[in-house]
Chains A and B, each alone.
Chain A
Amino acid sequence: MTYLAITDLQKHYDSYHALRGINLSITEGEFVVFVGPSGCGKSTLLRTIAGLESSTGGSIELDGRDITEVASSKRDLAMVFQSYALYPHMTVADNLSFALRLAKVSDAEIKEKVRSVSASLQLDALLERKPKELSGGQRQRVAIGRAIVRQPKVFLFDEPLSNLDAALRVQMRLELARLHKKLGTTMIYVTHDQVEAMTLADRVVILNAGQIEQVGTPLELYRQPNSRFVAEFIGTPKMNLIAANKIVRHEDNLAIELLGQQILFPAKRLKGPLPDSVVVGIRPEHMTLVEEGGDLSGRIELVEHLGSEAYAHLQLSSDQTIIIKAPARTELKDGQEVSLKIDISEIILFNENDRVISVIPEEA
């Protein structure tokens, strides 16, 4: 059942069209992540849902109530900001209880709610401190606590982890996932970090230039992107793209010519008519280095050792380099000539308009 429905939402700044007709429906209890590059409109979308920005068209409906024109204080949403936005002159306890005090909740109830929230976020010992006496992670927990204590209909997170260091970020990510499991409240989370998007989300919304590019579960987006933008955005390192200028039907297969070498692609995985040219997308993890007789060959330009694995940058031709994920203790040397084998079942084809024209193979 749709809990939060966004219909044809538009946002114009003076000369800039920030949101170009957003349609999205979110069910109750879902964890939805908005992800996209800088300036794609993900924060604007979140702030419009929060009511901090007014929309210039379309509607937002929450739990059967049209909230498009409702003031943000009356929307029953809680938001966690990137800068945490704690009230600097109030103690942690006052920060947590601010909304309740404004809502004239009784003292006993406030006390009880603050107690239970601070216990669940391990803030008990910090209640009398001011925000500036807290570490980054503690401030983050206070900001989350301030949202939880109100028991809102939807939590909004605006890049909440981007001010934390890497180790703490992983820990807080986990805590957020636990929190969502425990509370079961609908959460909308904005990030530019695709790892956060993939690990936290029930559904990911990828935005690009003010429009929704694709909505799906993390795995769907990884395996079945519907455009080149999504394919390149999801996955680390980025998907390799190689232009093939010759493609012919060859019985049940398509023969695609890649840099002078031919690979065979099952024809039944093509949707739509045979195009004149395609771009072949191969993820770094779907290629293996072989001694000889591979699909492509090239010279190693650089090897990046990450410990658990290694990324080899391969020069295939004068203007084409690709990245391959190799085992950790690889013997690869810079300048070495290597051959590589492509996992045909995992490759994705794009047409000249950057739309995907292949489907994933059915599971055997």
Chain B
Amino acid sequence: MKRSITRLLMAPSVIMLLVWMIIPLSMTIYFSTIRYNLLYPGQNNFVGLMNFEFFITDPGFIPAVSNTLILLLSVLIITVVLGVMLSALIDKPFFGQGIVRVLLISPFFIMPTVNALIWKNMMMNPVYGIFAWISESLGFEPIDWLSSYPLVSIIIMVSWQWLPFAILVFVTALQSQDTEQKEAAQMDGATGLHIFRYLTIPHLARPIAVVVMIETIFLLAVFAEIFVSTGGGPGYDSTNLAYLIYNQALLQYDVGVASAGGLFAVLLANIVAFFLIRAVGKNLTV
């Protein structure tokens, strides 16, 4: 009796959540098995796995998958390594610490579109960008970042956006590190580097795991930066999965293939998550 009342009361929210999840998923699965091109309305016949075949054999597919993974891993490495180093640097009190912290955190509050525009027009522009000016004043040829190194440019933009998140998490974690432990290590003959290596890094294992997981979720779906700056090009050089799907659905009007791509992205996210959780999850149980 009691149990059935509990279930009854929980039912609305559970049903709501299920509907929320299942309807889009099942519609995507449905679309991925029919012919559904906006240019040919009314010809929605069942095609089986043909959409998947189209998506996987698309010339953009291999570059998109590898770009997605390169982007993910590069940004993860940059944000975690730089994040740990910068947080350790600003952990000790110094003059102007508050301002420095705010400045380090603030890129996180800038929306991705604006972020990409700033980098595209103010930093990386080959004519009036700051990088070009630096190259010229040093006597080098200015580099056209977005067309010469499109993926690197995207990685720089996204890292700049996500580094503050890592710093935010690591600074908070460092503040909870026990000072007596560091002092004990000092008495045991440890130098600053030893303390960083044997106490601080292990102390940060859990926050690092958290940063890696959360960033993975968002980095697999980077879109705005690519859309605003390189448009996925040149060729497929900076196209990732999210952009390829967009390309299929809205540039080639093929909702069916886009849905198949979406399902493939879900699969890829699960594979990545599986390995990441295996690799990082150990640390969560320290």
- The yes or no answer to A82 lying at the interface (CB within 8 A) is yes
CB-CB under 8 A from B190, the residues of chain A are 73, 98, 102
Cα distance, A78 to B198, chains bound together (Å):
19
Cα distance, A150 to B181, chains bound together (Å):
17
- The yes or no answer to B1 lying at the interface (CB within 8 A) is no
CB-CB under 8 A from B203, the residues of chain A are 88-89
CB of B184, distance to nearest CB on chain A (Å): 4
CB-CB under 8 A from B50, the residues of chain A are none
- The yes or no answer to A174 lying at the interface (CB within 8 A) is no
CB-CB under 8 A from A22, the residues of chain B are none
CB of A101, distance to nearest CB on chain B (Å): 9
Among A332-354, those with CB < 8 Å from B are none
Q: Knowing A89-B286, A98-B198, A102-B194 touch, does A83 contact B189 (C-beta < 8 A)? A: no
CB-CB under 8 A from A81, the residues of chain B are 180, 183-184
Q: Knowing A52-B186, A85-B184 touch, does A73 contact B191 (C-beta < 8 A)? A: yes
Most A-side CB within 10 Å, residue of B181, B184, B187, B198: B187
Q: Could you tell me if A85 and B188 are in contact, using CB atoms closer than 8 angstroms? A: no
Over the window 96-114 of chain A, the binary record of Cβ atoms lying under 8 Å from chain B Cβ atoms (1 yes, 0 no) is: 0011001100000000000
- The yes or no answer to B199 lying at the interface (CB within 8 A) is yes
- The yes or no answer to B185 lying at the interface (CB within 8 A) is yes
Among B166-185, those with CB < 8 Å from A are 178, 180-181, 183-185
- The yes or no answer to B98 lying at the interface (CB within 8 A) is no
Select A73's contact among B178, B188, B199, B202, beta carbons within 8 Å. B188
CB-CB under 8 A from A90, the residues of chain B are 198
CB-CB under 8 A from A62, the residues of chain B are none
- The B interface is mostly helix, strand or loop, or mixed, namely helix
Size of the chain A interface, CB-CB below 8 angstroms: 25
**Chain A residue at smallest Cβ distance from B191:** A73
- The yes or no answer to A217 lying at the interface (CB within 8 A) is no
Q: Could you tell me if B180 and A87 are in contact, using CB atoms closer than 8 angstroms? A: no
- The yes or no answer to A234 lying at the interface (CB within 8 A) is no
**Chain A residue at smallest Cβ distance from B181:** A85
- The yes or no answer to A79 lying at the interface (CB within 8 A) is yes
Count of chain A to chain B residue pairs whose CB atoms are closer than 8 Å in the complex: 63
- The yes or no answer to A146 lying at the interface (CB within 8 A) is yes
Cα distance, A98 to B194, chains bound together (Å):
11
Most B-side CB within 10 Å, residue of A71, A77, A81, A146: A81
Size of the chain B interface, CB-CB below 8 angstroms: 19
CB-CB under 8 A from A88, the residues of chain B are 181, 202-203
CB-CB under 8 A from B188, the residues of chain A are 73, 78, 98-99, 102, 146, 150
**Chain B residue at smallest Cβ distance from A72:** B186
**Chain A residue at smallest Cβ distance from B201:** A89
Q: Could you tell me if A98 and B185 are in contact, using CB atoms closer than 8 angstroms? A: yes
Q: Could you tell me if B194 and A52 are in contact, using CB atoms closer than 8 angstroms? A: no
CB of B2, distance to nearest CB on chain A (Å): 38
CB-CB under 8 A from B202, the residues of chain A are 88-89
CB-CB under 8 A from B178, the residues of chain A are 83, 85
**Chain A residue at smallest Cβ distance from B183:** A52
- The yes or no answer to A50 lying at the interface (CB within 8 A) is yes
CB of A333, distance to nearest CB on chain B (Å): 51
CB-CB under 8 A from A52, the residues of chain B are 183, 186-187
Q: Knowing A83-B178, A85-B178, A89-B286 touch, does A102 contact B189 (C-beta < 8 A)? A: yes
CB of B250, distance to nearest CB on chain A (Å): 49
CB-CB under 8 A from B180, the residues of chain A are 81-83, 85
Cα distance, A82 to B185, chains bound together (Å):
15
Cα distance, A85 to B179, chains bound together (Å):
8
Cα distance, A252 to B171, chains bound together (Å):
74
Q: Could you tell me if A73 and B184 are in contact, using CB atoms closer than 8 angstroms? A: no
Among A131-187, those with CB < 8 Å from B are 146, 150
CB of B168, distance to nearest CB on chain A (Å): 23
**Chain A residue at smallest Cβ distance from B179:** A85
Cα distance, A82 to B184, chains bound together (Å):
11
Cα distance, A169 to B286, chains bound together (Å):
30
**Chain B residue at smallest Cβ distance from A79:** B187
CB-CB under 8 A from B187, the residues of chain A are 50, 52, 72-73, 77-79
CB-CB under 8 A from A86, the residues of chain B are 181, 184
Cα distance, A3 to B194, chains bound together (Å):
31
> Which 10 A-B pairs rank lowest in CB-CB distance, beginning with the nearest?
A99-B188, A85-B180, A85-B184, A89-B202, A73-B189, A81-B180, A85-B181, A79-B187, A102-B189, A83-B180
Can you list 16 pairs linking A and B with CB atoms under 8 Å apart? A51-B186, A72-B187, A73-B187, A79-B184, A85-B180, A85-B183, A87-B181, A87-B184, A88-B181, A88-B202, A89-B203, A89-B286, A98-B188, A102-B189, A102-B194, A146-B184
Q: Give A residues with C-beta under 8 Å from B.
A: 50-52, 71-74, 77-79, 81-83, 85-90, 98-99, 102-103, 146, 150
Known: A50-B187, A81-B180, A81-B184. 4 other contacts (CB 8 A): A77-B187, A78-B187, A98-B188, A146-B188
